[in-house]
């Protein structure tokens, strides 16, 4: 059943019809489509374009359709209808008769689909927000628990300086905090209502665009009707936000995979988030973390796809834009499930504190602090750097750490060293004395206070 058969003399080629149809994927917009139609109809009646009786008939017809779809009594038939808009309109006409034919007065599917997608994205942003906040809560709990769990910090994946697990996790907390604020920006910018833009040039009916915008929770109507129906910037922004979330989850996954390896043994992923091997009985693999990392490419792909789809389109609506949906839906679904699983995996992760602390001690992570000791005792930093470099070389030859080198050896190279060098380069000092804002020592103090972050 088509909305546009009038000027045609031949049936659409079957394959062309299927190729053109979008119901198989835009059916998930049914709620937003009905919500938008209800606001449109209320406004049409208020403006005297429809009678109150027509409005009431349409509203109750739409409410019935919504209820039936939701309880599974009405299933969008993909062989008969082109898209969710024609499916709902045809159903409405079948239910209430002639009044249903007036629903589309002063509207086009172009402004309708633009509205539906904005409403959908708004709903999904609030779902994404709450999953991100669950993840941040889990991180916050772990940070409080591990305020003084020592571990090595790395640069170039080489041990660099000691830090705490809370400090390391806190870096991810900051990334997700920025992700939240990016989603809020996207929401704020998209929150202008395209309804009333019509096909591209508005309409001659006296529509009250402010009223529909307000009824649907928008900050106001969009300013240019051509832009309203051809703008997909907000989807590209969303896909970019989602790509960044995935990039953060992917880096975090990569670290958990490393930490969970036999070589590191910093953590053990719970059985609930691991899988086995069909051949090697001993294996417990971090598949969930690997898949989160893997699915990052898929989300990036959707961003590139939509950017590419949009780049050559003349104004205003073009059917190419129907290609915005599957990628956006899939990206949202992917990020939602990745956030949920990742949070579950994180909450059940076991941290091997002793292994982490031991790893933080060896590898000369206290070399900077040894140099700083000399600086505090009057040696210029560049000289101190050279002296500690020589001591590190000596320790490597002896197969020991700076903590185990006898004071006499220290003094042979530089007489400034005294007994208090050992305290100055202890793991505890190295971490706790790092009190600059944002450093691990300062974080210990901050985490002791409520609220922590």
Q: Give the catalytic positions in this structure.
A: 156, 277
- Non-local (6+) Cβ contacts of 215 within 8 A are 39, 42, 43
Task: Decide whether 209 or 232 has the Cβ nearer to ligand ARG.
Answer: 232
Listed as own residue / partner, the contacts of 448-453 with beta carbons closer than 8 Å and 24 or more positions apart are 448/147, 452/140, 452/143, 452/144, 453/140, 453/143, 453/170, 453/173
85-104 positions binding ligand ARG, by CB under 6 A: none
Residue 109 binds to ligand ARG (criterion: CB under 6 A): yes
Binding mask 189-218 for ligand ARG (x = CB under 6 A): ------------------------------
Residue 274 binds to ligand ARG (criterion: CB under 6 A): no
Number of residues that make up the chain: 453
Binding mask 288-327 for ligand ARG (x = CB under 6 A): -----------------------------x-x-xx--x--
Residue 294 burial (CB count, 10 A): 12
Q: How far is CA 206 from the centre of its chain?
A: 41
Residue 83 binds to ligand ARG (criterion: CB under 6 A): yes
**In the complex, minimum distance from the CB of residue 216 to ligand ARG, in angstroms, rounded to a whole number:** 18
Query: How many chain residues bind ligand ARG (CB under 6 A)?
Result: 11
Residue 228 binds to ligand ARG (criterion: CB under 6 A): no
Residue nearest to ligand ARG (CB): 322
Residue 22 binds to ligand ARG (criterion: CB under 6 A): yes
**In the complex, minimum distance from the CB of residue 208 to ligand ARG, in angstroms, rounded to a whole number:** 23
Q: Which of 32, 37, 90, 110 binds ligand ARG (CB under 6 A)?
A: 110
Task: Decide whether 84 or 395 has the Cβ nearer to ligand ARG.
Answer: 84
- Non-local (6+) Cβ contacts of 243 within 8 A are 296, 299, 300, 303
Instruction: Give the residue carrying structure tokens 């240019």.
Output: 224
**In the complex, minimum distance from the CB of residue 84 to ligand ARG, in angstroms, rounded to a whole number:** 8
Backbone angles phi, psi at 72, to 5 degrees: 85, 5
Binding mask 155-184 for ligand ARG (x = CB under 6 A): ------------------------------
Backbone angles phi, psi at 243, to 5 degrees: -65, -40
Residue 429 burial (CB count, 10 A): 17
The beta strand positions in 88-149, using DSSP E, are: none
Q: Which of 41, 44, 49, 113 binds ligand ARG (CB under 6 A)?
A: 113
Task: Decide whether 22 or 366 has the Cβ nearer to ligand ARG.
Answer: 22
Binding mask 365-404 for ligand ARG (x = CB under 6 A): ----------------------------------------
Residue 27 binds to ligand ARG (criterion: CB under 6 A): no
Torsion, Cα 21 27 28 33, to 10 degrees, reads 110
Task: Decide whether 25 or 422 has the Cβ nearer to ligand ARG.
Answer: 25
**In the complex, minimum distance from the CB of residue 25 to ligand ARG, in angstroms, rounded to a whole number:** 9
Beta carbons of 401 and 410 less than 8 angstroms apart? no
DSSP string, 56-88: HHHHHHHHHHHHHHHTTSS---TTT-SSHHHHH
Q: CA–CA separation, 20 vs 276, rounded Å?
A: 43
**In the complex, minimum distance from the CB of residue 17 to ligand ARG, in angstroms, rounded to a whole number:** 13
Task: Decide whether 27 or 159 has the Cβ nearer to ligand ARG.
Answer: 27
Q: CA–CA separation, 222 vs 212, rounded Å?
A: 11
Answer whether the bond into residue 51 is a cis peptide, omega within 30°.
Answer: no
Find, among 411, 426, 445, 379, the residue nearest to 148 by Cα.
Answer: 445
DSSP string, 158-176: EEEEEEEHHHHHHHHHHHH
- Where along the sequence are the contacts to ligand ARG (CB under 6 A)? 22, 26, 83, 109-110, 113, 317, 319, 321-322, 325
């Amino acid at each position: 059943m088509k909305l546009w058969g009038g000027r045609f003399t031949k049936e659409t080629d079957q394959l062309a019809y299927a190729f053109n149809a979008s119901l198989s994927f835009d059916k998930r917009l049914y709620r937003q489509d009905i919500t938008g139609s209800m606001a449109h109809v209320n406004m049409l009646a208020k403006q005297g374009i429809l009678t109150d009786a027509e409005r009431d008939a349409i509203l109750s017809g739409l409410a019935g359709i919504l209820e039936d779809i939701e309880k599974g009594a009405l299933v969008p038939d993909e062989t008969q209808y082109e898209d969710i808009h024609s499916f709902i309109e045809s159903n409405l006409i079948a239910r209430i008769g002639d009044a249903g034919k007036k629903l589309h007065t002063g509207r086009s599917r172009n402004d309708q689909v633009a509205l539906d997608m904005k409403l959908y994205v708004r709903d999904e942003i609030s779902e994404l927000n709450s999953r991100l906040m669950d993840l941040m809560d889990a991180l916050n709990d772990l940070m409080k628990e591990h305020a003084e769990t020592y571990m090595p910090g790395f640069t170039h994946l080489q041990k660099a300086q000691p830090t705490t697990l809370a400090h390391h996790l806190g870096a991810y907390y900051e990334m997700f905090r920025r992700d939240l604020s990016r989603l809020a920006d996207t929401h704020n910018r998209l929150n202008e209502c395209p309804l009333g833009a019509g096909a591209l040039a508005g309409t001659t009916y006296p529509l009250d665009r402010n009223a529909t915008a307000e009824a649907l929770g928008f900050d106001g109507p969009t300013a240019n009707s051509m832009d309203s129906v051809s703008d997909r910037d907000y989807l590209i922004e969303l896909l970019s936000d989602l790509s960044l979330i995935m990039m953060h989850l992917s880096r975090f996954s990569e670290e958990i995979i490393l930490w969970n390896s036999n070589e590191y043994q910093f953590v053990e992923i719970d059985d609930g988030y691991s899988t086995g091997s069909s051949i090697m009985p001993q294996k417990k693999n971090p598949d969930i973390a690997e898949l989160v990392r893997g699915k990052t490419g898929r989300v990036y792909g959707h961003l590139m796809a939509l950017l590419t789809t949009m780049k050559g389109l003349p104004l205003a609506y073009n059917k190419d834009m129907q290609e915005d949906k599957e990628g956006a839906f899939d990206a949202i679904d992917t990020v939602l499930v990745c956030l949920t699983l990742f949070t579950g995996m994180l909450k059940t992760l076991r941290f091997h504190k002793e292994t982490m602390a031991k790893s933080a001690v060896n590898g000369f992570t206290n070399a900077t602090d040894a140099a700083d000791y000399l600086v505090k005792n009057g040696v210029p930093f560049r000289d101190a750097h050279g002296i500690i470099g020589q001591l590190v070389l000596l320790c490597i030859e002896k197969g020991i750490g700076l903590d185990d080198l006898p004071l006499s050896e220290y003094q042979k190279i530089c007489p400034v060293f005294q007994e208090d060098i050992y305290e100055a380069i202890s793991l505890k000092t190295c971490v706790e004395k790092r009190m600059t804002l944002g450093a691990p020592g300062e974080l210990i103090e901050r985490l002791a206070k409520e609220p922590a972050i």
